[in-house]
Amino acid sequence: MKLTLHEIAKVVGALNDVSEFDDLNITNIEFDSRKIKSGNLFLPLKGMRDGHDFIETAFANGAVATFSEKKVINYPYILVADTLKAFQTLAQYYLRKMAVDVIAVTGSNGKTTTKDMIAAILVTTYKTYKTQGNYNNEIGLPYTVLHMPDETEKIVLEMGQDHLGDIALLSELARPHIAVVTLIGEAHLEFFGSREKIAQGKMQITQGMDEEGVLIAPADKIINAYLPDNQKIIRFGADKDIYLTDLEESRDSLTFRTNFLEGPIRLPVTGKYNATNAMIASYVGQLLKIAEDQIASALSQLKLTGNRTQWKKATNGADILSDVYNANPTAMRLILETFSTIASNEGGRKIAVLADMKELGENSVQMHTELITSLSPDDLDTVIFYGSDIADLAQLASQMFPIGKVYYFKKTLDQDQFADLVECIKGLLKPQDQILFKGSNSMNLSEVVDLLEEA
């Protein structure tokens, strides 16, 4: 990190006179005292515990200074009214100082995958950094910025939201030159109340953009009221500015063409929605003058963040399609469509394990039961349900599927049948089978996948 203590103090408007301390070179900033290394600046945040309680530990681990909201004895410190706001201000300044181009990505589905795809394309031509893991909120985004390598030219930042205004804050901080909205779905509907409010929140990604910025957004009419007047806008979808053609899907790959690239694109992942994500990433690459052969090559070797439409193998040889990082009705329908169209293994069955989708609000049960239209005994041999809000869907499915082909396991405050779920799957699964896992991360289906791989 190319920052000094005095420079940081000036940027954040320190409330104390830091000239009494040496103008130290700051190697990095950490808010976890256990991760502190020599030369770091400590950032005490207030959460379940007050980070100020760990200032002594941070210095013992090698910190040379700390932010603080109160006076610190015996150590160099930068006094501020709010450590988080100071952190965000510093990240905003650092992006400008390092003259890094920002590509921002948000959406109810596909934002992490699209971020990964964009970064994979950009790294062929530029020094590129991207959001690591799920560091996409008011703490994670500035953390990402302040941890990018010194030589970074392009940074791809994922932006998440739990409440209205979250994306606006992140956009103002990052000032993106290119902004991408992948899809408006039902994620976090519990906090927003409607898709319209979700759309409003996602479209605030444009709030920090300059007039020369480019917005890439879906053709969904729900966002029309929130489109900016002062940016170039590229809409994607059938007969729009950019669109897919000649899409072919197999068990573990996709091939497609676009209306703006000459040749075909091949992806080593499945799911038609991933073709859309790759098309968006390809267009970003074209905007940034990356050669078409470089775009195609990067996507053909793509490696996605784990548990997102990922094929794995059970120890008995069965094929596992793991998509358990998160879930909402749109994502559930899309993965069921993909799984249903994939050819079965010879002599094998298709089994779907579906768990609760969280944060859907007061209509959660209804939104679960509406998924019955995506379930058919013509496409699936067996369906296994796990959760509480999904119980009514399980009941409907039991009336549609043959006897013995639908299983339901509870997860309530009083009873959790997780162990029974695992034993049921282990008993059912045969080497020739294909099994899909889909549910919200908190339902712990990833643990079932791990157990099948290790069993």
- Residues of each annotated binding site for ATP: 107-113
Beta-strand relationship, 406-410 and 382-387: parallel
Residues making up the binding site: 107-113
> Residues 131, 144: contact at Cβ < 8 Å?
yes
Determine the Cα–Cα distance for residues 69 and 348; give it in Å rounded to an integer.
62
The distance in angstroms from the start CA to the end CA of the chain is: 45
Joined tokens for residue 221: 């009419």
Joined tokens for residue 154: 């392009």
Determine the Cα–Cα distance for residues 207 and 431; give it in Å rounded to an integer.
52
Nearest to 148 by CA among 100, 210, 216, 186: 100
> Residues 301, 417: contact at Cβ < 8 Å?
no
Determine the Cα–Cα distance for residues 180 and 203; give it in Å rounded to an integer.
9
Cβ contacts of 214-221, under 8 Å, gap ≥ 24: 214/177, 214/178, 214/179, 214/287, 215/179, 215/180, 215/181, 216/178, 216/179, 216/180, 216/181, 216/242, 216/280, 216/283, 216/284, 217/180, 217/181, 218/181, 218/182, 218/183, 218/184, 220/183, 220/184
Rg (the chain; Cα; Å): 24
* Residue 93 burial class via C-beta count within 10 angstroms: exposed 0-12, middle 13-18, buried 19 and up: middle
Q: For residue 399, how many other CB atoms are within 10 A of its CB?
A: 8
Question: Torsion angle of alpha carbons 327, 373, 267, 317, nearest 10°?
Answer: 80
Nearest to 121 by CA among 263, 292, 270: 292
Task: Assign 286 to helix, strand or coil.
Answer: helix
